């Protein structure tokens, strides 16, 4: 019990860090599912590409000694390029792989999504690097470490949490407070009716893909700064975990994805910390199965209404 | 069903080859095989390309050097490149083409114990069995399963595990956090190390990392709670850099308040760069020698030749097995060269018997395999991450 109390706060912080990343990626799953009722299984790989874009920018500024640029500006450039690049990639994927199948059998876009996912992984493996690539985070962000009692966390971990939460709040405001947000919600509720109301559904879908993918790109940047290493396979397991988080929260529900992500991160960290690291991943999928059996609409989900 | 047809094909090929042999003009040419192929197998791409890519370069260089020196009685050896991506399934598919082609006489590799254990039965039951010489597979079961095809130039887990544990104890280890990476190689090795620690009453805690894991915060919290003064991580390599960087961020600095001992894949100077210096001061043991770190003119000449072939910084990127890969290729090629040529053909059965009986001249001196296929007198080498390279600090004989 002593052991538990002493280590619980640190494991909680560890879990919140991991969980905010899950939440950021889960939002993408949930946004796209909300609008199109399709699972974009390439989403984890969009995140991976975002991380590689960030690593590329970081590499140019740190290794090639274009050091006239202050570190802060380099980080800002990483964020802009990774979010923009991932966003455009998302839009491109939608245009090429999903739009032609929008009225096809529901399985068809799911299969192209898996195809796109495999393509992105192999493309990065072959054209960029089969081995992990370093993100020189030491040269970009201060290596400050915060101590709070016996809880320790580096600045990059705090950044991961703060930026992720800020983006989630901004997204929530965008969807629920703006005109375009209501267009998104209208499209989610009934695509045909939305068309009759004069909403450009194609444009709404494009913007949704851009937003979802840009969030994933930002996830890639934050991950790179925190863990200093990216590889072509990093999007696979994380994508599945984020999907699990989205389902736990209620797929299609934005606030559900945020809570689902944080919850999954914390639970995973506690299982790893107090039960066994061996069961961490199996636990994630056990949680997925349990939720699907007991409450298939997820914690926050209302079956087939009020999505997005 | 397919069996007779294959036999017919082989028989026809045999007749054809015999005919060729008959028409060629006498003397030395009668001993010249028509075609000799060997395969290089390992994780040349994928999550373990960091150990595979350098090994492949070494094997390619070995074949090139061998061919330059005349090949097998004048026949140039063709190298097939089998990239198994650290997957036993992929490996079996690749090996199938070698098994059915009698001019494929042997494999240098596979590198990962898990892949070898998944392949060995198929290679053994082929007709004729297809021999291999691994440069890095260390799990005891690789050669203990009583087969004739398996050979390796590296030392075994049951030599490395105790040597690793003893090294930590000699350095004053009080509490050891023992980790593996959930693979046949790393689990087997960590078990051996753990058993030695247990028998010497050193408290330990066992944990596992996952392939490709980047977030080690949960593990690091447990290391601190356990109060370990040594972390032992049996791993093929790619997980070490994020692990040690996060240890440093969380206040566990290698060489100051914690010591780190890695294995094989972690005997890799690129980890110092990819961990942004956090790896400096860490130890790693290797079941093979690093040509740049051992004495001997053949090894030094090899390092020079490797740099000439692949560029001045190639050795620092070649991973831990670029020496043993060349050594393994030398042993296999010499066994093939020593085998008799009948009607332009060398049989795999003869290659296997020469692998068992002959002594080979390699960059690390003479090499001989014992009855099980293990190298006799294989050494364990302890390295330390110092500045930007891994420096040999100790050799523990196997």
- Give pLDDT, residue B1: 41
Residues of A with CB below 8 A from B51's CB?
none
Q: Is B209 helix (H, G, I), strand (E, B) or coil?
A: coil
Count of domains forming chain A: 1
| Interchain contact B14–A (C-beta under 8 A) | no
The answer to whether position A281 is within a domain reads no
| Alpha helix stretches (DSSP H) within chain B | 2-23, 49-68, 88-100, 113-124, 141-144, 157-170, 184-199, 217-226, 240-249, 270-274, 297-310, 314-317, 322-338, 348-357
A228, A233, A281: residue with CB nearest B47:
A233
- Give pLDDT, residue A137: 86
| Interchain contact B215–A (C-beta under 8 A) | yes
- Give pLDDT, residue A308: 46
Beta bridge partners of B254: B258
**Averaged over B287-310, what is the pLDDT?**
88
Partner-chain contact B217 A229, CB within 8 Å = no
CA distance linking residue A151 with residue A37, whole number of Å: 41
Tokens of B54: 């350098």
> Is the pLDDT score of B27 beyond 70?
no
Topology of B157-286+381-397 in CATH?
Answer: Rossmann fold (3.40.50)
The answer to whether position A238 is within a domain reads no
CA distance linking residue B367 with residue B363, whole number of Å: 10
Nearest residue in chain A measured CA to CA from B274: A134
Give which of B87, B226, B244, B249 to mutate to test A binding, by max A Cβ within 10 Å. Answer: B249
ipTM of the complex: 0.86
A131, A273, A278: residue with CB nearest B50:
A131
- Give pLDDT, residue B146: 85
The answer to whether position A290 is within a domain reads no
B212, B219, B273: residue with CB nearest A277:
B219
Nearest residue in chain B measured CA to CA from A276: B207
The burial class, CB within 10 Å (0-12 / 13-18 / 19+), for A293 is exposed
**Averaged over B219-240, what is the pLDDT?**
93
Tokens of B102: 């009698």
| Interchain contact B212–A (C-beta under 8 A) | yes
Tokens of B239: 């997980």
The burial class, CB within 10 Å (0-12 / 13-18 / 19+), for B147 is middle
- Give pLDDT, residue B21: 41
Those residues of chain A that have pLDDT short of 50 are 303-308
The answer to whether position A285 is within a domain reads no
The CATH H-level (homologous superfamily) assignment of domain B32-155+298-363 is Response regulator (3.40.50.2300)
Beta bridge partners of B394: B382
CA distances, A103 to each of A39, A106, A109, A196 (Å): 15, 8, 10, 18
Nearest residue in chain B measured CA to CA from A280: B210
Q: Is B382 helix (H, G, I), strand (E, B) or coil?
A: strand
CA distance linking residue B31 with residue B340, whole number of Å: 8
Contacts (Cβ under 8 Å, ≥6 apart) of B102: B10, B13, B128, B345, B347, B348
Exposure of B184 in the CB half-sphere (CA atoms within 13 A): 19
Whose structure tokens read 């296929």? B373
Strands A229-230 and A133-134: antiparallel
- Give pLDDT, residue B46: 76
pLDDT interval class at B5 (50, 70, 90): low
The mean predicted confidence, pLDDT, of chain B is 88
Nearest residue in chain A measured CA to CA from B205: A276
- Give pLDDT, residue B134: 96
Partner-chain contact A228 B242, CB within 8 Å = yes
Residues of B with CB below 8 A from A272's CB?
218-219
Q: Is A297 helix (H, G, I), strand (E, B) or coil?
A: coil
Partner-chain contact A234 B242, CB within 8 Å = no
pLDDT tens string A258-270: 999 999 999 999 9
CA distance linking residue B315 with residue B295, whole number of Å: 17
HEC string for A39-107: CCCCHHHHHHHHHHHHHHHHHHHHCCCCCCCCHHHHHHHHHHHHHHHHHHHHHHHHHHHHHHHCCCCCH
Count how many residues are written for chain B. 398
Q: How far does the CA of residue B117 sit from the closest CA of chain A (Å)?
A: 22
Residues of B with CB below 8 A from A125's CB?
45-46
Partner-chain contact A132 B241, CB within 8 Å = yes
Residues of B with CB below 8 A from A6's CB?
225
CA distances, A300 to each of A74, A173, A196, A253, A308 (Å): 39, 18, 30, 7, 12
- For the sheet with B176-180, list strands across it: B204-208, B176-180, B230-233, B259-263, B283-286, B379-386, B389-397
CA distance linking residue A84 with residue B2, whole number of Å: 56
**Averaged over B153-159, what is the pLDDT?**
91
Strands B204-208 and B283-286: unpaired
Start and end residues for every CATH 3.40.50.2300 domain found in chain B: 32-155+298-363, 157-286+381-397
CB burial readout A52-90, b (16+ within 10 A) else e: bbbbbbbeebbeeeeeeeeeeebbebbbebbbbbbbebb
Q: For residue B251, count other CB atoms closer than 10 A to its CB.
A: 15
- Give pLDDT, residue A63: 67
* Under 8 Å between Cβ of A298 and A291: yes
**Averaged over B152-171, what is the pLDDT?**
93
- Give pLDDT, residue A144: 86
- Give pLDDT, residue B25: 39
A126, A152, A233: residue with CB nearest B250:
A152
Give which of B83, B214, B250 to mutate to test A binding, by max A Cβ within 10 Å. Answer: B214
Nearest residue in chain B measured CA to CA from A11: B218
Beta bridge partners of B258: B254
Residues of A with CB below 8 A from B208's CB?
277-278
Residues of A with CB below 8 A from B238's CB?
131-132, 231
**Averaged over B24-38, what is the pLDDT?**
70
Partner-chain contact B242 A18, CB within 8 Å = no
CA distance linking residue B263 with residue B258, whole number of Å: 17
Rg (CA), chain B: 22
The burial class, CB within 10 Å (0-12 / 13-18 / 19+), for A275 is exposed
The answer to whether position A72 is within a domain reads yes
* CA-wise closest residue to A49 among A19, A83, A94: A83
* Under 8 Å between Cβ of A175 and A308: yes
Partner-chain contact B221 A280, CB within 8 Å = no
CB burial readout B308-318, b (16+ within 10 A) else e: eebeeebbbbb
CA distance linking residue B287 with residue B138, whole number of Å: 8
* Under 8 Å between Cβ of A257 and A30: yes
Query: What backbone phi and psi angles, to 5 degrees, belong to A150?
Result: -100, 15
Cis geometry, peptide bond prior to residue A202 (ω within 30 degrees of 0): no
| Interchain contact B317–A (C-beta under 8 A) | no
Residues of B with CB below 8 A from A131's CB?
49-50, 53, 238
**Averaged over B341-356, what is the pLDDT?**
94
User: Taking the mean position of all CA atoms in its chain, how far away is CA B149?
Assistant: 16
CA distance linking residue B161 with residue B140, whole number of Å: 11
The answer to whether position A144 is within a domain reads yes
> Is the pLDDT score of B192 beyond 70?
yes
Partner-chain contact A18 B217, CB within 8 Å = yes
- Give pLDDT, residue B289: 85
CA distance linking residue B41 with residue B86, whole number of Å: 10
CA distance linking residue B92 with residue B122, whole number of Å: 8
Count how many residues are written for chain A. 308
Residues of A with CB under 8 A from a CB of B: 3, 6-7, 10-11, 14, 17-18, 125-126, 130-132, 134, 136-138, 143, 145, 152, 154, 156-157, 223, 227-229, 231, 233-234, 237, 269, 272-273, 277-278, 280-281
- Give pLDDT, residue A67: 55
Q: For residue A148, count other CB atoms closer than 10 A to its CB.
A: 10
Partner-chain contact A227 B251, CB within 8 Å = no
Question: Residue A134 is part of which domain span?
Answer: 14-233
Q: For residue B266, count other CB atoms closer than 10 A to its CB.
A: 30
Give the residue with greater pLDDT, B237 vs A175: A175
pLDDT tens string B41-58: 999 987 788 889 999 999
CA distance linking residue A217 with residue B225, whole number of Å: 35
Largest CA distance in chain B: 78
* Under 8 Å between Cβ of B369 and B151: yes
Q: Report the range of poorest mean pLDDT among A103-107, B245-249, B334-338, B369-373.
A: A103-107
The answer to whether position A140 is within a domain reads yes
The answer to whether position A91 is within a domain reads yes
Partner-chain contact B275 A154, CB within 8 Å = no
Beta bridge partners of B132: B107, B150
């Amino acid at each position: 019990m002593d052991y538990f109390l002493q280590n619980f706060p640190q494991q909680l912080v560890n879990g919140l860090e991991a969980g905010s990343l899950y939440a950021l990626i889960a939002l993408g799953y949930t946004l796209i599912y909300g609008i199109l009722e399709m699972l974009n299984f390439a989403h984890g790989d969009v995140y991976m590409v975002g991380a590689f874009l960030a690593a590329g920018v970081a590499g140019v500024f740190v290794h090639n000694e274009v050091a006239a640029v202050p570190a802060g500006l380099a980080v800002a450039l990483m964020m802009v390029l990774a979010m923009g690049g991932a966003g455009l990639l998302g839009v491109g994927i939608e245009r090429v792989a999903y739009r032609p199948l929008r009225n096809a059998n529901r399985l068809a876009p799911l299969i192209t999504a898996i195809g796109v996912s495999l393509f992105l992984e192999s493309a990065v493996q072959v054209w960029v690097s089969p081995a992990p690539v370093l993100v020189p985070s030491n040269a970009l962000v201060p290596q400050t470490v915060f101590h709070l009692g016996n809880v320790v966390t580096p600045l990059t971990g705090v950044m991961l949490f703060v930026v992720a939460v800020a983006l989630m709040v901004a997204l929530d405001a965008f969807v629920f407070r703006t005109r375009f947000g209501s267009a998104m919600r209208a499209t989610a509720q009934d695509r045909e009716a939305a068309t009759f109301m004069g909403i450009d559904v194609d444009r709404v879908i494009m913007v949704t893909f851009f937003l979802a993918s840009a969030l994933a790109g930002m996830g890639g940047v934050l991950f790179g700064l925190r863990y200093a290493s990216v590889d072509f396979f990093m999007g696979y397991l994380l994508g599945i975990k984020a999907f699990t988080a989205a389902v736990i929260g209620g797929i299609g529900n934005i606030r559900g994805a945020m809570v689902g992500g944080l919850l999954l991160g914390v639970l995973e960290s506690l299982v790893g910390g107090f039960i066994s690291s061996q069961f961490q991943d199996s636990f994630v999928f056990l949680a997925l199965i349990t939720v699907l059996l007991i409450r298939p609409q997820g914690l926050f989900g209302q079956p087939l209404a009020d999505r997005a | 069903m397919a069996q007779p047809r294959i036999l017919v094909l082989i028989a026809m090929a045999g007749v054809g080859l015999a005919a060729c042999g008959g028409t060629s003009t006498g003397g030395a040419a009668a001993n010249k095989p028509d075609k000799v192929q060997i395969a290089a197998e390992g994780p040349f791409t994928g999550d373990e390309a960091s150990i595979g890519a350098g090994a492949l370069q070494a094997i390619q260089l070995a074949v090139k050097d061998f061919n330059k020196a005349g090949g097998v009685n004048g026949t140039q050896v063709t190298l097939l490149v089998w990239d198994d991506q650290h997957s036993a399934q992929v490996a079996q598919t690749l090996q199938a083409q070698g098994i059915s082609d009698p001019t494929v006489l042997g494999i240098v590799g596979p590198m990962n114990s898990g892949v070898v254990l998944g392949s060995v039965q198929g290679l053994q039951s082929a007709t004729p069995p297809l021999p291999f010489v691994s440069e890095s597979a260390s799990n005891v079961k690789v050669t203990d399963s009583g087969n004739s095809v398996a050979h390796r130039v590296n030392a075994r887990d049951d030599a490395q595990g105790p040597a690793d544990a003893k090294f930590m104890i000699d350095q004053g280890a009080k509490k050891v956090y023992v980790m593996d990476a959930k693979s046949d190689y790393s689990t087997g090795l960590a078990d051996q190390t753990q058993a030695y620690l247990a028998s010497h009453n050193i408290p330990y805690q066992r944990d596992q990392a996952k392939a490709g894991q980047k977030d080690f915060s949960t593990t690091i919290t447990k290391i601190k709670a356990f109060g370990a003064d040594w972390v032992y991580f049996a791993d093929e390599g790619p997980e070490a850099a994020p692990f040690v960087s996060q240890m440093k961020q969380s206040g566990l600095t290698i060489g100051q308040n914690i010591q780190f001992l890695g294995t094989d894949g972690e005997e890799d100077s690129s980890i110092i760069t990819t961990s942004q210096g956090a790896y400096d001061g860490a130890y790693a043991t290797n079941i093979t020698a690093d040509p740049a770190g051992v004495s001997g003119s053949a090894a030094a000449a090899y390092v020079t030749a490797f740099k000439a072939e692949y560029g001045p910084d190639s050795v620092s990127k070649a991973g831990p097995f670029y020496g043993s890969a060349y050594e393994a290729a030398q042993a296999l090629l010499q066994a093939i060269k020593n085998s008799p040529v009948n009607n332009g053909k060398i049989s795999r059965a003869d290659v296997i018997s020469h692998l068992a009986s002959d002594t080979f001249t390699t960059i690390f001196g003479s090499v001989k395999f014992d009855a099980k296929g293990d190298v006799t007198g294989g050494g364990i080498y302890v390295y330390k991450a110092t500045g930007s390279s891994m420096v040999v600090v100790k050799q523990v004989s196997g």
